[in-house]
């Protein structure tokens, strides 16, 4: 079974700022919440005592520091440009303040970036995948037959799909082996048995603990099942997000 945890996207975070009267909120905070009672919370003049989600607060803090540094501005200079106090800006940059929507708009304008830029980092869904032993998704690949088992150990959805980890188990001898070709780099790690694996004109005998890494666009696959049962981990890395 695959379990997923999510962090709210940037659009939701932006809407939450307006919906809460200026307090930025969101889901999936890694550090809990900042509140008036914990000594780490400050309000600007336009804000209520709403809590700010710590995850959103830290993202805003990083973005403000990042853009200010790119512009070569001091805290004094940016606070003057934005029309907010130096103390408030310092608290925002350290995720110790709950800025109102108006304050964020002024900061974004002072740094010549869109408001949504301050939420960059919350725009994508971040998943954590957990697959229990033996519960990987069974998939059918070219050449799949009785005694040949392919289990997907989880894959990120949408733009986060950059790797495909798979557990391959071969329990039956076969005289004909399928060849595979795909984008990206593939990494094999041998767990059980002995197999001769081909990549182009090369042949490699893999035993437990051996590893093989190669370009996926060259024809590859098992060429000889030397000792059964055979089991190895296959990880395909695409190198860049793909859908």
Give me the CATH number covering residue 229. 2.60.120.10
222 is written with which tokens?
Answer: 């098992």
Q: What is the pLDDT of residue 12?
A: 42
Of 98, 119, 140, the position where a domain reaches its end is 119
Q: CB-based burial of residue 170 (10 Å sphere; 0-12 exposed, 13-18 middle, 19+ buried)?
A: buried
Read off the pLDDT of residues 168-217 as tens digits, 9 standing for 90 and up.
999 888 766 788 898 999 999 999 999 999 999 999 999 999 999 999 99
Residues 82, 156 share a domain? no
Write down the pLDDT at residue 123.
52
**92 inside domain:** yes
**Single pTM value for the model:** 0.48
**CA–CA distance, 193 with 215 (Å, rounded to integer):** 24
User: What are the contacts of 138-142 at 24+ separation with CB within 8 A?
Assistant: 139/166, 141/178, 141/180, 142/178, 142/180
Instruction: Name residues of the chain where pLDDT drops below 50.
Output: 1-43, 45-51, 125, 242-243
- From 68, 93, 119, give the residue that closes a domain: 119
Are residues 170 and 190 part of one domain?
yes
**Quick check: is 124 in a domain?**
no
- Residue 188 has what pLDDT? 97
Each residue's pLDDT tens digit, 123-138? 554 556 677 787 777 7
Of 119, 150, 168, the residue at which a domain comes to its end is 119
Expressed as residue numbers, the domain containing 183 is 130-242
Evaluate whether residue 197 is within a structural domain. yes
**For residues 178 and 221, is the Cβ–Cβ distance under 8 A?**
yes
Residue with tokens 């495909």: 164
Closest by Cα among 12, 4, 91, 19 to 56: 12
**Domain tally, the chain:** 2
pLDDT at 82: 94
Q: 38 and 97: one domain? A: yes
Tell me, yes or no, whether 135 and 115 share the same domain: no
Q: Are both 178 and 147 inside the same structural domain?
A: yes
pLDDT of residue 157: 54
């Amino acid at each position: 079974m695959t379990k997923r945890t999510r962090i709210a996207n940037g659009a939701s975070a932006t809407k939450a700022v307006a919906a809460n009267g200026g307090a930025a909120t969101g889901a999936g905070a890694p550090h809990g919440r900042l509140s008036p009672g914990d000594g780490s919370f400050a309000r600007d003049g336009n804000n209520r005592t709403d809590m700010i989600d710590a995850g959103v607060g830290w993202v805003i803090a990083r973005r403000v520091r990042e853009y200010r540094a790119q512009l070569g501005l001091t805290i004094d200079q940016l606070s003057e440009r934005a029309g907010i106090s130096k103390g408030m800006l310092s608290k925002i940059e350290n995720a110790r303040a709950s800025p109102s929507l108006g304050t964020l708009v002024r900061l974004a304008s002072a740094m010549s970036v869109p408001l949504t830029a301050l939420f960059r980092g919350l725009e994508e869904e971040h998943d954590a995948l957990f697959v229990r032993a033996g519960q990987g998704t069974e998939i059918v690949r070219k050449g799949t037959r009785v005694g040949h088992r392919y289990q997907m150990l989880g894959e990120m959805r949408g733009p986060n799909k950059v790797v495909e980890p798979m557990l391959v188990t071969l329990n039956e001898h076969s005289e004909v082996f399928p060849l595979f070709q795909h984008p990206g780099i593939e990494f094999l790690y041998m767990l059980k048995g002995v197999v001769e694996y081909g990549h182009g004109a090369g042949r490699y005998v893999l035993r437990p603990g051996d590893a093989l890494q190669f370009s996926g666009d060259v024809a590859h696959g098992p060429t000889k099942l030397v000792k059964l049962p055979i089991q190895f981990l296959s990880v395909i890395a695409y190198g860049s997000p793909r859908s």
